[in-house]
């Protein structure tokens, strides 16, 4: 550079510093400093920006619901926003479609540890945008990274972040997962004990005081104990609004709909108020509900009687067919015939289950020839049971079992052996890793469960120091225990020990 050019460049820098440096944003000030010092601007600036994953971890530690157990209302708000944030990040990774057009987050932060004062933060983010760079990998776009930066900045963290959500070097290590799960489990054991006792007290009060049994359906298993307790308390208020209605002997299921099922259970929608619940009780056909309940008890007794007379393991059907008159008629005819003919196959099929099948809509036609034939018998090769149409006769049933019962029993024995093998591996894994509980997600195949146990046992020496005393559910993803619920740590079935 010529001397006069150097002088002009120096004067420009001096003027810029004198009049404009203080008005520049910190990143631009930093770039100006590096220009004057002769350093590589882009490299140095990039090093000074924290990673998105690192800042998100800091955010999780600030807003995690388990940190607010002494503030129940704030804990519930943080729990909802925390789950929504998980959905947002999952969509930003390209693993699912965005659930909302905009995401409204409300978080409470500990403003002053000494006085336990909380600070409320509200942020609205647009739906995340991703770009797929391969069929199984997505890249976070600048607009989404900026939106997350706004959320981080509102919570007192860095607004300028780099990187994405999928970088392998920033993945959560298994050791961190186990350690965080241990701390969450310890906090849960302290906070949940009182809630479990309250739930038992409220259920007993409803049973003794009003004569009803109440439970929350499996679809709402993700609710925290505090949320379940709130539902039971609302039920008590609803019952107080209709004291003149006798609900003694009924069972109430809190779910996502209203009605009376074929077992006589009364269903409530958990999203509605106690006033709507009270109105449902007032309008419900309680006589029919009790009749369904008694009929269900009679059916179970008749199923037990048929199984005993035929000397089989059990006889059962699906819910929609169980309440149909044809099923009760079928059971009575089989019981009467088995009483005369004795055990099927001379009693060698006592480990064989029978499933009765049929379409209730077709059964209304009144002509058995139109809805099936003896060829509708089948053998389930996975679980080893025999399926029989509800319109079939005792003669055809006995004939089919004598012809293919051995095949069904072989499948049944293989199924039981696999179940026993899995249960044995589960027990061994739990003992060697010193786990408190070990379970498997319902959607996980038996092969994946066995593979997971094999991985855990193979790496038990490295894992035991992290897993002792933990409760683990083998699943399709890593997930920390949920605040306020009994759900354990979820460990992905094909985890890699290299992540430790």
Shared domain check, 405 and 470: no
Distance CA 23, CA 379 (A): 80
In contact, 331 and 302? CB cutoff 8 Å: yes
Among the ranges 186-200, 313-327, 415-429, which has the highest mean pLDDT value?
Answer: 415-429
Q: Are residues 299 and 383 in the same domain?
A: yes
Co-location of 209 and 263 in the same domain: yes
What average pLDDT does this structure show over 67-95? Answer: 84
Going from the C-alpha of 183 to that of each of 105, 190, 263, the distances in angstroms are 25, 11, 42
Examine residue 239 and state whether it is found in any structural domain, yes or no: yes
pLDDT number for residue 419: 92
Can you give the pTM of this predicted structure? Answer: 0.56
Interatomic CA distance for residues 156 and 132, integer angstroms: 31
CA 78 vs CA 175, 414, 463: distances in Å: 25, 48, 32
Is 176 within the bounds of a domain? Answer: no
Say yes or no: 123 and 194 in one domain. no
The string of pLDDT tens digits covering residues 116-165 is 788 899 998 888 877 765 555 667 777 888 888 889 999 888 888 877 66
Q: How confident is the model at residue 385 (pLDDT cuts 50, 70, 90)?
A: very high
| 241, 256, 288 - which closes a domain | 288
**CA-to-CA distance for 445 and 233, rounded, in angstroms?**
38
The per-residue pLDDT for range 298-315, each reduced to its tens digit, is 999 999 999 999 999 999
- C-alpha distance from residue 201 to each of 1, 249, 417 (Å): 86, 19, 41
Beta bridge partners of 388: 356
Residue 280 has pLDDT above 90, yes or no: yes
110 contacts 118 by C-beta, under 8 angstroms: yes
Residues 253, 152 within the same domain: no
**Overall average pLDDT of the 423-434 stretch:** 94
Q: In the structure, what pLDDT confidence band is assigned to residue 200 with cuts at 50, 70 and 90?
A: confident
Query: Does 218 fall in a domain?
Result: yes
Tell me which long-range contacts 329-333 makes (C-beta under 8 A, separation of at least 24). 330/356, 330/390, 330/391, 331/299, 331/302, 331/303, 331/306, 332/302, 333/393, 333/394
**Same domain membership, residue 408 and residue 389:** yes
Residue 177 domain flag: no
Same-domain pairing of 161 and 74:
yes
Among 278, 282, 202, 203, which Cα is nearest to 241's?
278
Is residue 225 a contact partner of residue 265, using CB atoms and an 8 Å limit?
Answer: no
Most confident of 67-71, 113-117, 199-203, 279-283: 279-283
Q: What is the mean pLDDT of residues 395-409?
A: 92
Task: For residue 43, tell me if it sits in a domain.
Answer: no
Range of the domain at 324: 291-413
Q: Which residue has the higher pLDDT, 14 or 385?
A: 385
Please tell me whether residue 371 adopts helix, strand or coil conformation.
coil
3-state secondary structure at position 464:
helix
Q: What is the pLDDT of residue 268?
A: 94
**What HEC string does 238-254 produce?**
HHHCCCCCCCCCCEEEE
Q: From 270, 288, 306, give the residue that closes a domain.
A: 288
- Tell me: do 319 and 302 sit in the same domain: yes
In a domain, 46, yes or no: no
Of 362-371, 463-472, 482-491, the poorest mean pLDDT is in 362-371
Q: Is residue 109 part of a domain?
A: yes
Domain total for the chain?
5
Q: Are residues 395 and 482 in the same domain?
A: no
Q: Please say which residue of 171, 196, 212 terminates a domain.
A: 171
- What pLDDT score does 20 carry? 43
Same domain, 364 and 279: no
Instruction: Classify strands 102-112 and 117-126 as parallel, antiparallel or unpaired.
Output: antiparallel
Average pLDDT value over all residues in the chain: 80
Mean pLDDT of 55-60: 86
Chain segment 13-46, per-residue pLDDT in tens: 444 344 344 444 444 444 444 444 444 444 554 5
Burial class (CB in 10 A: 0-12, 13-18, 19+), 385: buried
Q: Which of the four pLDDT bands, split at 50, 70 and 90, describes residue 187?
A: low
Query: What's the pLDDT tens digit per position in 215-257?
Result: 988 888 778 778 888 899 899 999 989 888 889 889 999 998 9
Spatial distance between the Cα atoms of 396 and 402, rounded to a whole number of angstroms: 10
Give how far Cα 135 sits from Cα of 42, 132, 145, 473, Å: 31, 7, 21, 29
| pLDDT greater than 80 at residue 420 | yes
pLDDT digits (tens, 9 = 90+) for 322-356: 888 889 999 999 999 999 888 998 889 999 999 99
* 467: pLDDT strictly greater than 50: yes
- Judge if 305 and 403 occupy the same domain: yes
Neighbours of 32 (CB within 10 A): 17
What is the DSSP secondary-structure string of 137-201? EEEE-HHHHHHHHHHHHHTTS-S--BS-S--GGGSPPHHHHHHHHHHHHHHHHHHHHHHHHHHHH
11 has a pLDDT exceeding 50: no
pLDDT over 70 percentage in the chain: 78
> According to the model, what pLDDT value does residue 334 have?
92
Query: Left (φ > 0), alpha (ψ -120 to 50) or beta: where does 271 sit?
Result: alpha
* Distance from C-alpha of 339 to C-alpha of 348, rounded to nearest angstrom: 17
- Give yes or no: residues 56 and 166 share one domain: yes
The total of other beta-carbon atoms located within 10 Å of residue 25's CB is 9
Q: Which long-range contacts (CB under 8 A, 24 or more apart) does 214-218 make?
A: 214/251, 214/252, 214/253, 214/254, 215/251, 215/252, 215/253, 215/254, 216/253, 216/254, 216/255, 216/270, 217/253, 217/254, 217/255, 217/256, 217/267
With H, G, I as helix, E, B as strand and everything else as coil, classify residue 237.
helix
Q: What is the pLDDT of residue 37?
A: 46
User: What residues contact residue 177 under an 8 Å CB cut-off, 6+ apart?
Assistant: 478, 480, 489, 491
In a domain, 68, yes or no: yes
């Amino acid at each position: 550079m010529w001397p006069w050019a150097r002088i002009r460049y120096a004067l420009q820098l001096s003027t810029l510093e004198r009049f404009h440096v203080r008005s520049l944003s910190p990143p631009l000030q930093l770039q100006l400093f590096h220009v004057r010092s002769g350093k590589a601007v882009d490299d140095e600036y990039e090093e000074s920006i924290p990673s998105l994953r690192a800042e998100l971890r800091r955010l999780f530690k600030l807003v995690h619901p388990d940190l607010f157990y002494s503030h129940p209302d704030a804990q519930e708000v943080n729990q909802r926003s925390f789950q929504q944030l998980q959905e947002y990040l999952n969509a930003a990774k390209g693993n699912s479609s965005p659930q909302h057009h905009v995401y409204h987050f409300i978080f409470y932060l500990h403003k002053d540890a000494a006085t336990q004062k909380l600070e409320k933060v509200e942020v609205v983010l647009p739906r995340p945008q991703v770009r797929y760079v391969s069929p199984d990998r997505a890249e976070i776009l600048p607009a989404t990274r900026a939106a997350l930066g706004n959320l981080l900045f509102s919570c007192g963290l860095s607004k300028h972040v780099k990187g994405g959500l999928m970088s392998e070097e920033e993945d959560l290590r298994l050791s961190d997962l186990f350690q965080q799960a241990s701390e969450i489990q310890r906090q849960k054991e302290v906070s949940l004990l009182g809630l479990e006792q309250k739930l038992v007290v409220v259920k007993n009060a409803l049973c003794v005081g009003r004569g009803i049994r109440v439970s929350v359906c499996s679809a709402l298993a993700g609710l925290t104990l505090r949320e379940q307790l709130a539902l039971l308390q609302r039920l008590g208020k609803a019952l107080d609004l209709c004291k003149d209605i006798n609900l003694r002997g009924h069972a109430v299921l809190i779910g996502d709909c209203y009605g009376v099922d074929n077992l006589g259970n009364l269903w409530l929608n958990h999203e509605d108020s106690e006033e709507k619940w009270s109105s449902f009780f007032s309008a419900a056909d309680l006589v029919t509900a009790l009749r369904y309940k008694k009929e269900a008890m009679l059916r179970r007794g008749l199923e037990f009687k048929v199984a005993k007379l035929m000397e089989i393991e059990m006889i059962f059907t699906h819910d929609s067919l169980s309440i149909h008159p044809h099923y009760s008629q079928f059971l009575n005819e089989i019981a009467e015939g088995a009483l005369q003919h004795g055990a099927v196959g001379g009693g060698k099929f006592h480990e064989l289950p029978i499933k009765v099948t049929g379409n209730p809509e077709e059964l209304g036609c009144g002509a058995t020839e139109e809805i099936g034939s003896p060829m509708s018998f089948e053998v389930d090769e996975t679980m080893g049971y025999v399926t029989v149409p509800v319109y079939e006769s005792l003669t055809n049933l006995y004939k089919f079992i004598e012809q293919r019962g051995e095949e069904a029993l072989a499948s049944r024995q293989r199924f039981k052996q696999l179940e026993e093998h899995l249960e044995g591996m589960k027990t061994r894994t739990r003992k060697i890793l010193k786990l408190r509980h070990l379970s498997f997600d319902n959607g996980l195949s038996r092969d994946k469960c066995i593979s997971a146990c094999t991985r855990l046992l193979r790496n038990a020496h490295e894992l035991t120091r992290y897993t002792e005393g933990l409760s683990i559910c083998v699943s399709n993803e890593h997930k920390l225990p949920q605040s306020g619920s009994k759900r354990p740590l979820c460990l992905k079935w094909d985890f890699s020990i290299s992540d430790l």
